Every structure is written in C-alpha cells, then in structure tokens.
Amino acid sequence: MFSTTVTEDGRYLLIYVSQSTDRKNLVFYKDLTDSSGKITELIPTFEGSFDLIDNQGTTFWFQTDYEAPRGRVIAIDIGRSGQDWRSSLESVIPEAEETLEGVSLFGDRFLTTYLKDARTEVKRVCDRRYARRRSAATRSWLSGRLWRQAIGHGNFLQLHQLHHADDDLSLRPDHRRKHDLSSAAGRFQSRRLRNDAGVLRQQRRNSSSHVHHPQKGLTLDGSNPTYLYGYGGFSISITPAFSPSNLVWMELGGVYAVANLRGGGEYGEAWHQAGTKLNKQNVFDDFIGAAEWLIDRKYTSSQKLAIGGGSNGGLLVGACMTQRPDLFAAALPAVGVLDMLRFPLFTIGWAWCSDYGSPENQDEFQALYAYSPLHNLKPGTAYPATMITTADHDDRVVPAHSFKFAAALQAAHAGDAPVLIRIETKAGHGAGKPTAKVIEEASDRWAFLVKVLGRVLTHPLKF
C-alpha cells in the first residue's frame, strides 16, 4: 500500500509504503527542486511506524514506535544519514509511560497529546530544536485536530468545540469556528447538554471502560437497558467522542458503555499485539469481562444487556454471542468479518492477516477456526435477539459475511428471540453514507433494542 505527503515548505515529497494493515512502513523521499527526479530510500526496512510531523531544511521529525512501543519523537537529518538512517537519528521526545497519540505544530513548537486510560491529555510542549522542554497544562478529554493555535476537543456529552490556545495553553472559545446548532437536532443536543443531563464515569478492570448514563439518580438494580460497544483491533484507539445517535439512546433512558480492549492502540503496540493472531481470543475475553463487570455492579443484567460493534467490532460481537449466548439479551453485529476461514479471498481482506493471521498457516488456522462466528454456531442453541446490518455494495467487508452468518444463525437458533438482517441498498461499509440513511439505520437499531430490552421513555422528546 502506498501513500504520499508533501512537506509544508513544499520542497520534499515523502512516499510511505506499508504491508497490509501492519503499522510498520517504509519511507522514501524526493527533493522536488531536483530536476533529476531521483527518489531516495530513507527508511528501507520495516522497522516500525514513521509519520512525518514537520521538517526544517534537511531535518525531518517523525512520530514513531521504532524501539518505543508507546511512541516517541525522533529527528533524522537526511543530509548526513548516509547509508544508514540510524546514524543521524536523534531522540527528541523519549517514550513515556502513556501512549503517544499525536504530535502537532504549535507555532514553532511541538505539542504532544498522550492517551492516559483511553482519554487524551496534552502532555508537553517543546521547541523544534529540542533545547527547551516544559510540561503543559493537562486538558482531559481532548480530542480532535490541532491547528497552529487552535485546539478542538469534545467527549461523549459535549459537541466538538474549538478553542484558541495561548502560549501557556490556556484555552479561550474560538468564536470564528462555531458549530451550527440551528437544526432541530442541534437544538435538541444543545438543550440536553445545557441541562447537564449526563453523567460520565470511567472504571477499570483488566481493560478500561467508559460508562455513561443520563440520570444522576440511576438505580443500580440490574434493570437498566445497556448498550455495550467495542472494537479491539488494528491498533485503533476508541476514545470519547460525541454522537447524536448515542445521545438519543441515552435520552431514551439507556446506559451507554464503551470497553477498551486488547488489540486496540490505547496502551501502545504491546497492547495491540496482545489482541492479534494467536492472541485474538484475549479481545473477546476482555469484552465478555466488561459485560460481566456491568452485570456484577448491577448497572444492568443479562436480560437487559445489548452488545454492538462494526467491521472488526462486528467480528467481536459475533464471537462473543456465539461463545456466551447466555450473557446477552441482544446483539448488533454491523458489517462484520464473520467467516474467518475465507476472509482473505475477498476485496481487501488479505490485508487483515497482519491482525488476524492467515488461514493458510496451520497454527493460525486453528486459532481462527476456534472463534470464527460462522463456524461456531451450534444447532439447538438459544441465541440473543440479533439484528445483523450490512450493505449491498460493501467492498471492504463483503456482505456475504453477513448473509451467511444470518442464514446459519436462523437455522441454528432454537429460542423465540428474533434474528433479523438489515441490508442497506446503494451503500457500502459506512464512509460517505448519506445522512438520511444514517438516521434510518440508527432509528432501526434503537427501535430494535427498545422492543427487545423494553423501556418506557424517561424524557419525552421535545423540539
């Protein structure tokens, strides 16, 4: 796979080369002022991930996990790198206890954000010559994009907002970049936030969970309909983010929970690798453990608990509902990878072997077969109420995964709970889906859960 970028000074073209979805990449560069068109190898072997932050002349700064599983910042001077890029490598910001999430330019300095228990914090500012460093004020729940002097942040309860950042990182609202809340949905969201309807909690077990419920007086008696979401793969970190759809679920009186699982990137590359290939079962164990945690502390019960996830998260839901059908009342696998023996044969599926392993490898085949949702359905078993969602033009995870799983599940299922498949037409894996289709799918999802889990509206919807 190939991707390119041009340095901000316009002088250099950088070419990244990666194998499948593995984070390790090669780096080549071309001096655009050189008419010869020569392309030069900078990092010619797969040693780690290297993402350009900025350059100044021939000095390039990269965010990398090379010899630093939780990430660090290095500088490479291409003017004196010679035959080995390591010869000019200098460590600018060393690996920390937390996972380095991002590095951005802040004026003429670098501002770093770290993941601490799956929430983003500003950690450090240093100048590009790395002669001076200082700690920065912490801003919890920071997420989004950093401009030169503007910081965006949000969370489960708060719309993404932009603030102007002063030199000491004190934040002032940036009124030039305000979100338009003129729509009915926007007014609804704004009203709920102004009334402080939500309470956000973070808890820890082997992995960490964010638990959000809409009423400060939530009764922990096991009766609360709960939607537990997870992903757990490809070094993707699941951090707090605002969702109008999730807000509707909470407005209906539901509890929304997110589990941070091994296989993600929340705690660095070691955390990611602990949920890949022969270790993939760890991801499912973490998710099942998060469900049991919610039940043990009486946030909910098995009769009131639903699980959901999409793509790799759809695999997560499929594996957990087939391994522990007794633990959940409802399951919502979306555009899921559900046939783990044939996934490399279709579209981009071959690229996922870096996380899943290959069915052509004997040991990895055994691991895949052991949890493949399609191959672990057992006839005569009462499975949770299930609504599988896919789209007829999904060219990422082909809909055949969902088609086969739905047919096999309906054939094996012995209970009275409904087993449905929802097939969107003229749509794909999700990116670029029209707003109308997004709303329709969310409406069907919550209607299905209200029907299965049962709940009287605690707050009438008024606009």
The three-state secondary structure class of 67 is coil
> Is 210 among the domain residues?
yes
375 noted as active-site residue? no
Q: Determine the Cα–Cα distance for residues 395 and 385; give it in Å rounded to an integer.
A: 27
DSSP bridge partners of 3 = 16
| C-alpha distances out from residue 367 to 266, 311, 420, Å | 24, 19, 28
**Average pLDDT in the 62-77 region?**
93
DSSP bridge partners of 83 = none
Q: Determine the Cα–Cα distance for residues 162 and 172; give it in Å rounded to an integer.
A: 9
Q: How confident is the model at residue 62 (pLDDT cuts 50, 70, 90)?
A: very high
% of residues, the chain, pLDDT over 90:
61
Q: Quote the crossing angle between the two packed helices 244-251 and 184-194, to the nearest 10°.
A: 60
- Model confidence at 406: pLDDT above 50: yes
359/282 same-domain check: yes
Return the closest-CA partner of residue 13 out of 34, 1, 271, 21: 34
- Model confidence at 100: pLDDT above 70: yes
- Model confidence at 83: pLDDT above 80: no
| Cβ-proximal residues to 125 (8 Å cutoff; 6+ apart), any chain | 106, 109, 110, 111, 112, 133, 134, 136, 169
- Model confidence at 232: pLDDT above 60: yes
**Phi and psi, residue 170, nearest 5°:** -70, 140
The two three-digit tokens of residue 261, written as one number: 């699982």
> Is 400 among the domain residues?
yes
Which of 35-39, 114-118, 240-244 shows the highest mean pLDDT?
A: 35-39
Domain of residue 103, residue span: 96-179
100-104, 129-133, 323-327: which range is least confident on average?
A: 129-133
- Model confidence at 440: pLDDT above 90: yes
**Average pLDDT in the 416-422 region?**
97
134/27 same-domain check: no
pLDDT for the residue numbered 159: 64
Q: Are strands 255-259 and 226-229 parallel, antiparallel or unpaired?
A: parallel
Q: How confident is the model at residue 250 (pLDDT cuts 50, 70, 90)?
A: confident
> Is 24 among the domain residues?
yes
The three-state secondary structure class of 302 is helix
Return the closest-CA partner of residue 405 out of 426, 389, 424: 389
Q: How confident is the model at residue 253 (pLDDT cuts 50, 70, 90)?
A: confident
245/100 same-domain check: no
**Average pLDDT in the 181-210 region?**
44
Return the closest-CA partner of residue 231 out of 213, 253, 255, 207: 207
> Is 459 among the domain residues?
no
The count of structural domains within the chain is 3
Query: Domain boundary residue among 71, 90, 109?
Result: 90
Q: Which amino acid, residue 256?
A: Y
| Cβ-proximal residues to 92 (8 Å cutoff; 6+ apart), any chain | 61, 72, 73, 74, 75, 110, 126, 130
> Is 462 among the domain residues?
no
> Is 412 among the domain residues?
yes
208/265 same-domain check: yes
> Is 106 among the domain residues?
yes
pLDDT for the residue numbered 120: 77
317/424 same-domain check: yes
| Torsion-angle region of 229 (φ positive above 0: left; ψ -120 to 50: alpha; else: beta) | beta
> Is 463 among the domain residues?
no
11/134 same-domain check: no
CB 126 within 8 A of CB 109: yes
Q: How confident is the model at residue 438 (pLDDT cuts 50, 70, 90)?
A: very high
Query: Domain boundary residue among 179, 198, 218?
Result: 179
Residue indicated by tokens 């502390």: 297
H/E stretch holding 335: none
91 noted as active-site residue? no
More confident residue, 156 or 396: 396
Return the closest-CA partner of residue 61 out of 117, 7, 134, 19: 7
pLDDT for the residue numbered 42: 93
344/432 same-domain check: yes
57/141 same-domain check: no
84/108 same-domain check: no
- Model confidence at 290: pLDDT above 70: yes
Residue indicated by tokens 């000074």: 9
User: Rounded to a whole number, what is the distance in angstroms from the first to the last CA of the chain?
Assistant: 47
Among 311, 354, 372, 402, which one carries the catalytic annotation? 311
More confident residue, 263 or 243: 263
% of residues, the chain, pLDDT over 70:
76
What is the average pLDDT value for the chain, to the nearest integer? 83
150/115 same-domain check: yes
How many C-beta atoms surround the C-beta of residue 233 within 10 A?
27
67/115 same-domain check: no
pLDDT for the residue numbered 126: 67
Query: Domain boundary residue among 46, 67, 90?
Result: 90
Return the closest-CA partner of residue 316 out of 409, 388, 230: 230
The two three-digit tokens of residue 189, written as one number: 């969201």
Give the CATH number for residue 202: 3.40.50.1820
238/373 same-domain check: yes
CB 75 within 8 A of CB 92: yes
Q: Number of helices (H) and strands (E) in the chain: give both, helices first.
A: 9, 23
